[in-house]
Amino acid sequence: MFEIQTSKMSKLLPLVFIIIGILTQTPFTDAPKIFAQSTKASQTSKMGSLPSPSSPPPPQFGPPSPEISATQKSASTNKTCIVMPSKLKLHGSPQQTEGPYFVDDMPNRSDIRSDPSTGMIQQGIPLHLVIHIYSLNNGICAPIRAVKVDIWHVNSQGIYSAVKDFGTTGQQFLRGYQTTGNDGSVHFTTVYPGWYQGRTIHIHVKVRTFEGSNKTMDWTSQFYFDNNLNKQIHTQLPYSKHGPPTTTNEQDGIYTGPSTDGLIKDNSGQHMLLNVSKEGQGYLGTFNIVLSSTT
């Protein structure tokens, strides 16, 4: 072990403080952070503790770090295709209804929280989504590049943007798309969705490929969350202003109904549950969408 004499230490301390001062004034980069972690199904049981109902609302996203961890890099380049049950191994992930609120030509962006026209950011508990897109041919899975992935969902009070009935015509919050890279994945920064009458909490997703302006493939479905997590989220602000969810997964006709492609006869939503884990003061949701050659 080396010992630093007191006189030498006294000379070094001012320099240390200067360096610390410089570092604390250095701004974070504005470049988007890629959020990802392991997509193993075991994460679903490792959500960790949630804030108590009396806890203050968690802070919103701060400036992103310019670095990503080794586990995040691993998830971003995950080539493993795990499909269950056996029907899905043959036919891929089930499709569900698009619903009445899809709006095309939304912004190409990873962070979908803001409305581009006003700059207003939707408040809520942070949610990072990592979606992997795989092709399934003769039982072999492979990531697909150049796939356009749209997502859209309601805010904490159950309101969609860009919908006249909700009074949000011209707004684009909580909507956007990304295009997959060589690893077949896209990353979104959003907030945990709220609920509206007659539906369980969900996120819409649409996957498309194009040749020029011609659409060559269109796959549509919805993601779901655990009922208990939905309840706990809605004990916190700003969700608690809207009250607890009134419809569970098992009470939702789309969740319990058949897939629109005929793949699943009932409870098709069970196959579209996000793998959710705690991530800082928010959550990480991951999902492997598998597209069969017949999609």
The secondary structure element, H or E, covering residue 254 is: helix 253-256
| Distance (Å, whole) CA 51 – CA 67 | 27
Whether the link from the prior residue into 85 is cis, omega within 30° of 0, is yes
Sign for the pseudo-dihedral over CA of 244, 248, 252, 258: positive
| Distance (Å, whole) CA 254 – CA 268 | 8
* CB-CB contact of 154 with 174 (8 Å): yes
| Distance (Å, whole) CA 263 – CA 91 | 7
Q: What confidence score (pLDDT) does residue 182 get?
A: 95
Distance set, CA 228 to CA 73, 120, 157, 233, 272 (Å): 30, 30, 19, 9, 16
| Distance (Å, whole) CA 130 – CA 125 | 16
CB neighbours of residue 226 within 10 Å = 15
Q: What confidence score (pLDDT) does residue 137 get?
A: 77
Per-residue pLDDT of the chain (295 residues; tens, 9 = 90+): 433 344 444 444 444 333 334 333 333 233 233 223 333 333 333 333 333 333 333 333 333 333 333 333 333 333 446 544 444 544 689 999 999 999 999 999 999 999 998 999 999 999 999 999 999 877 778 999 999 999 999 999 999 999 999 999 999 999 999 999 999 999 999 999 999 999 999 999 999 999 998 999 999 999 999 999 999 999 999 999 999 999 999 999 999 999 999 989 999 999 999 999 999 999 999 999 999 766 6
| Distance (Å, whole) CA 271 – CA 70 | 29
| Distance (Å, whole) CA 84 – CA 273 | 12
Q: What are the structural domains, with CATH classification, of the chain?
A: 34-292 (2.60.130.10)
| Distance (Å, whole) CA 261 – CA 88 | 12
Strand partners, 272: none
* CB-CB contact of 227 with 248 (8 Å): yes
| Distance (Å, whole) CA 253 – CA 49 | 30
| Distance (Å, whole) CA 165 – CA 76 | 38
Task: Tell how strand 126-137 and strand 140-143 pair up.
Answer: antiparallel
- Give one DSSP letter per residue of 108-138, joined into a string: B-SB-SB-TTT-PBPPS-EEEEEEEEEEEET
| Distance (Å, whole) CA 205 – CA 211 | 20
- Name residue, tokens 């492997």: 288
Q: What confidence score (pLDDT) does residue 107 get?
A: 97
* CB-CB contact of 174 with 190 (8 Å): yes
Strand partners, 282: 279
Q: What confidence score (pLDDT) does residue 285 get?
A: 98
